[in-house]
C-alpha cells in the first residue's frame, strides 16, 4: 500500500513539473520572436500590429521642384573711375583727420598718401606732354605759339589779318553808338570812338540818343523812337555799340560798356570773319 502511494505521488510530481515546463516553453516561444524582431521598423500595417492597431499614415512628401542653381555671385571688377573716386575720398578723409586731430601719425599718413598722388600726377603730366609732342593734331601751340618768338610772330600775323578783315567788313558794316545823358561812361566811349574815326576814314559810326541828349563828339545823333528796345536790346546798360549790316539790314550787339579800339576791332573780326570755335 505504501508503495502504491509513493508511485502515485511520484507520477503526480512528474506531471506537475511537466506542466510548469510547458508553460515556460510556451512563453519562450512567444518571447523569442519579439526579441529577435525588436529592431524592426514597426509601424502601420506591420504583421505585429494586429487588426486592432490603428494609426494615421504620414502624407506622401510633395514632389521636389527643380530649384534654380545658385550661381556664385562675383563682384564686378572696379573701374578706373571707381578707383579714382576711392583715392579722392581717402585723401579727403586723411586730410580731415589730420586737421581735426593733428597728431604726428595722422599728419604723416596724410602727407605720405598725398605724396603718392603727387607722383602719380607728375607721371600723368609728363606722359601727356610726350603724347602731345608725338601727335601734332593734339598740339594747340602749333597754331597759337606760347614761346616768346612764336607768340610775337603770331600776334603780328593776327593783327594784320584783323586789319584786312575789318577793312573788308566795313564795306557793308557800320556802328551804332547808343548813349544817354544819364550814362556816366558814355562820354568816355564817345572820345574813344571819335579817335578811331580820325585814324580810319573807312569806319562809319552813327550816334543814337535814347533821351535826345547830345555829346560833343556826336552833336547830331539819331533820336531813338523805341526801335532800340523793340530790337531786343538792353537800354539800361550803356554805352552800347551795335554792329549793323547795311546789306542784310541786320544788327548784332558788339559790346555794352566802355571798350578800347583794339578790343572793338577784335570783336568785329570775330563776328564777321570767324566761325564759332574757329579762333580757339
Q: Residues 111-126: what's their mean pLDDT?
A: 96
pLDDT-derived band at 122, boundaries 50, 70, 90: very high
Supply the DSSP symbol for 211. Answer: S
pLDDT at 150: 82
Residue 231 has a pLDDT of: 77
Asked if residue 92 has pLDDT above 90, the reply is yes
Gap between the Cα atoms of 275 and 279, Å rounded: 8
The answer to whether the pTM exceeds 0.75 is no
Total residues found in the chain within this entry: 280
**CA distances (Å), 221 to each of 225, 226, 231, in order?**
12, 15, 19
Q: Which of 35-44, 225-234, 259-268 has the lowest mean pLDDT?
A: 35-44
Residue 203: its pLDDT value, please? 87
More confident site: 246 or 19: 246
Alpha carbon distance 206, 154 (integer Å):
33
Q: At a CB cut-off of 8 Å and minimum separation 6, what does 92 contact? A: none
* pLDDT of 69 over the 70 cut: no
∠ Cα 19 24 29 (to 5°): 125
Amino acid at each position: 500500500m505504501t508503495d502504491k502511494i509513493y508511485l502515485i505521488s511520484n507520477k503526480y510530481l512528474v506531471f506537475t513539473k511537466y506542466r510548469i515546463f510547458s508553460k515556460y516553453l510556451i512563453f519562450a516561444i512567444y518571447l523569442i520572436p519579439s526579441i529577435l524582431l525588436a529592431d524592426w521598423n514597426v509601424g502601420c500595417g506591420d504583421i505585429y500590429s494586429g487588426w486592432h492597431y490603428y494609426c494615421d499614415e504620414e502624407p506622401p512628401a510633395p514632389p521636389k521642384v527643380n530649384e534654380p542653381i545658385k550661381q556664385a555671385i562675383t563682384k564686378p571688377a572696379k573701374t578706373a573711375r571707381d578707383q579714382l573716386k576711392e583715392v579722392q575720398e581717402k585723401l579727403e578723409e586723411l586730410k580731415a583727420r589730420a586737421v581735426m586731430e593733428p597728431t604726428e601719425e595722422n599728419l604723416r599718413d596724410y602727407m605720405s598718401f598725398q605724396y603718392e598722388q603727387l607722383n602719380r600726377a607728375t607721371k600723368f603730366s609728363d606722359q601727356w606732354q610726350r603724347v602731345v609732342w608725338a601727335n601734332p593734331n593734339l598740339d594747340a601751340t602749333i597754331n597759337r605759339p606760347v614761346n616768346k618768338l612764336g607768340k610775337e610772330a603770331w600776334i603780328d600775323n593776327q593783327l594784320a589779318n584783323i586789319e584786312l578783315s575789318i577793312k573788308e567788313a566795313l564795306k557793308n558794316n557800320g556802328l551804332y553808338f547808343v548813349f544817354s545823358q544819364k550814362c556816366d561812361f558814355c562820354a568816355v566811349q564817345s572820345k574813344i570812338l571819335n579817335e578811331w574815326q580820325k585814324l580810319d576814314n573807312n569806319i562809319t559810326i552813327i550816334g543814337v540818343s535814347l533821351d535826345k541828349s547830345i555829346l560833343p563828339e556826336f552833336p547830331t545823333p539819331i533820336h531813338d523812337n523805341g526801335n532800340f528796345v523793340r530790337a531786343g536790346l538792353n537800354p539800361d546798360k550803356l554805352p552800347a555799340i551795335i554792329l549793323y549790316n547795311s546789306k542784310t539790314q541786320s544788327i548784332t550787339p558788339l559790346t555794352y560798356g566802355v571798350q578800347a579800339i583794339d578790343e572793338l576791332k577784335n570783336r568785329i573780326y570775330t563776328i564777321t570773319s570767324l566761325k564759332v570755335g574757329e579762333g580757339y
